[in-house]
């Protein structure tokens, strides 16, 4: 389980996070929702120790993140994390060289699923294909937790559908996923837990299925209630 | 350790094209220096002896014999050395900043590798150090070859042969690059390595605290300088030539090791606890 406990973060004088608390369990998809600048990416960066927090605590399966944690949790940012001059094949080789959790069989499967060519250079990829490569590099790791930052941002509808398909496949099954997105429609039916953020705090956290069953509301309905008040 | 070696290999690969270009420029330019300087000298000799009918002894008296010193003073010889130094200095900054800036977010990948972040830092420092040693090695290989070309071109009566040691000793800048003894080599390159580590620490301050980090980095750099030269300051301003040269050397070795170890510790702390993507 990923536990985010009362974390705060300031950038200069700007208080971005003001005591954010939530948990994300293995086998569930947790979606962080909020307008731009609300601190969604900062939370993901903080979980991965890519930005320091001012106070609070983040635990992954009960322990603080360390070098070994990167074999069981991975982050897929909204930009490619490989060098532009590398080919897709070289990027996969890089991952294989450094990660024990790299699953080559799954990587090959994803390559076919996304219809990507190993000899293609990262710099020559379209935005959609770049997102797919990023996803491939994250999903091919045998990790327990996946963090995804805006995986649908700025890409065409067909790529979006293909990426959304991944969430219903065995590629994500049993893993804990934290995702930030604006494109809620693409994955609304897949989300387990929703965290609505505003002004650096969690304004509402709920289970999407429970709210659907008990109150007959969709995630978008709750978002409207919260953000349009 | 294994991942550190892989990282060093990766860092070497990232600069290899530029590095090979530097090696190519150095070889071509320095060989050209030997040929151009020798040709020019021979043209003078030809003019003096065959056209102006000057006796060889008179020519040598007036112009002197040609030696390798004439080559090392040529811009074609010094130029590529300066180019390599400047390029590696710039690269010492670029090796970090290129992973942060532009569309490149490779720093995410480097910081998320399942290895100590210090390995990333040490791999970059090692790569710089290996590049420097590679260029020094190239110069060591080039010197005998260049001397051989000079000997082919200039007749024995008109030249003054120097040993490799003399070639280095007669040219101060080569002396810094190619020290005469193992001890001097360790001092020159130890100081160089320390300087790279301190520079990397300053970069870490800047990357962690951005604008405030520039000031912190400058402060840290100044502190590192003061600590390193502390025995010299004590010798000059407090104890007035109290230490023997060997003692001063040993003290500076200690302060140098302190600065290097302190900088690595500080960088590790910043990389694990304060770094921002």
* Within a domain: A218: no
Compare CB distances from B104 to A48, A74, A84 and report the shortest one's residue: A84
Whether residue A26 is predicted with pLDDT greater than 90 in this model: the reply is yes
User: How distant, in Å, are the alpha carbons of A172, B111, B112, B214, B271 from that of B277?
Assistant: 26, 9, 11, 17, 11
* Within a domain: A187: yes
State the smallest CA–CA distance between residue A11 and chain B in angstroms. Answer: 10
State the smallest CA–CA distance between residue A52 and chain B in angstroms. Answer: 5
Whether residue B1 is predicted with pLDDT greater than 70 in this model: the reply is no
Select the residue from A14, A97, A143 to test the B interface by mutation, using most B Cβ atoms within 10 A: A97
* Within a domain: A43: yes
A133 contacts in B (CB within 8 Å)?
A: none
Average pLDDT rounded to a whole number, residues A118-141: 93
* Within a domain: A229: no
For A1-5, A11-15, A18-22, B37-41, which range has the lowest pLDDT when averaged over its residues? Answer: A11-15
* Within a domain: A25: yes
State the smallest CA–CA distance between residue A229 and chain B in angstroms. Answer: 34
B104 contacts in A (CB within 8 Å)?
A: 83-84
* Within a domain: A219: no
What is d(CA A169, CA A185) in angstroms, rounded to the nearest whole number? 18
Give the count of domains, chain A.
1
Domain holding A169: CATH number?
Answer: 3.40.50.300
State the smallest CA–CA distance between residue B256 and chain A in angstroms. Answer: 30
Average pLDDT rounded to a whole number, residues B78-106: 91
* Within a domain: A222: no
Compare CB distances from B277 to A51, A99, A101 and report the shortest one's residue: A51
Nearest chain A Cα to B98, which residue? A83
Give the three-state DSSP class for A50.
Answer: coil
ipTM attached to this prediction: 0.92
Q: What backbone phi and psi angles, to 5 degrees, belong to A104?
A: -65, -35
To the nearest whole number, what is the mean pLDDT of chain B? 92
Cβ-defined contact of B106 to A51 (cutoff 8 Å): no
- pTM score: 0.91
Whether residue B108 is predicted with pLDDT greater than 70 in this model: the reply is yes
Whether residue B274 is predicted with pLDDT greater than 90 in this model: the reply is yes
pLDDT of amino acid A86: 94
Cβ-defined contact of A52 to B3 (cutoff 8 Å): no
Per-domain boundaries in chain B:
1-175, 179-277
* Within a domain: A123: yes
CB B167, CB B147: distance < 8 Å: yes
Give the percent of chain B with pLDDT over 70. 99
- Number of CB pairs, chain A paired with chain B, less than 8 A apart: 63
Q: Domain containing A142: what range?
A: 2-213
A84 contacts in B (CB within 8 Å)?
A: 103-104
pLDDT of amino acid B184: 83
B14 contacts in A (CB within 8 Å)?
A: 83
């Amino acid at each position: 389980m990923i536990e985010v406990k009362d974390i705060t973060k300031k950038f200069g004088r700007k208080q971005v996070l003001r005591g954010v608390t939530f948990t994300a369990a293995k086998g569930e998809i947790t979606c962080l929702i909020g307008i731009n600048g609300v601190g969604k990416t900062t939370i993901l960066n903080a979980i991965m120790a890519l930005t320091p927090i001012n106070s609070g605590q983040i635990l992954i399966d009960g322990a603080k993140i360390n070098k070994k944690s990167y074999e069981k949790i991975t982050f897929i940012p909204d930009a490619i994390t490989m060098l532009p001059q590398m080919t897709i094949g070289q990027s996969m080789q890089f991952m294989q060289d450094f990660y024990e959790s790299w699953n080559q069989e799954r990587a090959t499967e994803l390559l076919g699923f996304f219809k990507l060519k190993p000899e293609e250079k990262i710099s020559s990829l379209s935005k959609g294909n770049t997102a797919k490569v990023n996803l491939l590099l994250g999903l091919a790791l045998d990790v327990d937790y996946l963090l995804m930052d805006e995986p649908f941002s700025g890409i065409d509808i067909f790529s979006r559908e293909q990426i959304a398909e991944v969430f219903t496949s065995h590629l994500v099954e049993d893993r804990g996923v934290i995702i930030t997105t604006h494109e809620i429609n693409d994955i609304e039916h897949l989300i387990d837990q929703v965290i609505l953020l505003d002004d650096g705090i969690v304004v509402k956290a709920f289970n999407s299925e429970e709210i659907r069953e008990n109150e007959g509301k969709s995630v978008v309905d709750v978002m409207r209630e919260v953000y349009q008040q | 350790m294994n991942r550190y070696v892989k990282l060093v290999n990766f860092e070497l690969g990232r600069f290899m094209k530029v590095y090979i270009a530097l090696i190519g420029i150095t070889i071509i330019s320095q060989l050209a220096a030997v040929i151009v300087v020798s040709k020019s000298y021979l043209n003078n000799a030809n003019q003096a002896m065959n056209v102006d009918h000057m006796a060889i002894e008179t020519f040598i008296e007036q112009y002197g014999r040609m030696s390798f010193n004439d080559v090392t003073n040529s811009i074609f010889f010094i130029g590529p050395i300066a180019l390599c130094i400047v390029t590696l200095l710039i690269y010492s900054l670029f090796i970090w900043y290129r992973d942060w800036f532009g569309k490149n977010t490779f720093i995410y990948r480097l910081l998320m590798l399942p290895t100590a972040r210090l390995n990333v830092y040490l791999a970059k420092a090692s790569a710089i150090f290996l590049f420097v040693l590679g260029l020094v090695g190239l110069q060591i290989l080039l010197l005998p070859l260049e001397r051989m070309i000079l000997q082919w071109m200039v007749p024995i009566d008109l030249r003054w042969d120097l040993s490799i040691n003399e070639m280095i000793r007669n040219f101060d800048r080569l002396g810094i690059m190619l020290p005469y003894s193992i001890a001097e080599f360790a001092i020159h390159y130890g100081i160089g390595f320390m300087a790279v580590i301190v520079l990397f620490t300053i970069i870490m301050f800047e990357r962690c605290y951005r604008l405030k980090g520039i000031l912190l980095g400058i402060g840290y750099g100044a502190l590192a300088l003061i600590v390193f030269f502390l025995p010299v300051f004590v010798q000059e301003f407090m104890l007035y030539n109290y230490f023997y040269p060997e003692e001063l050397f040993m003290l500076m070795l200690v302060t140098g090791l302190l600065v290097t170890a302190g900088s690595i510790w500080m960088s590790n702390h910043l990389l694990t606890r304060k770094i921002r993507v």
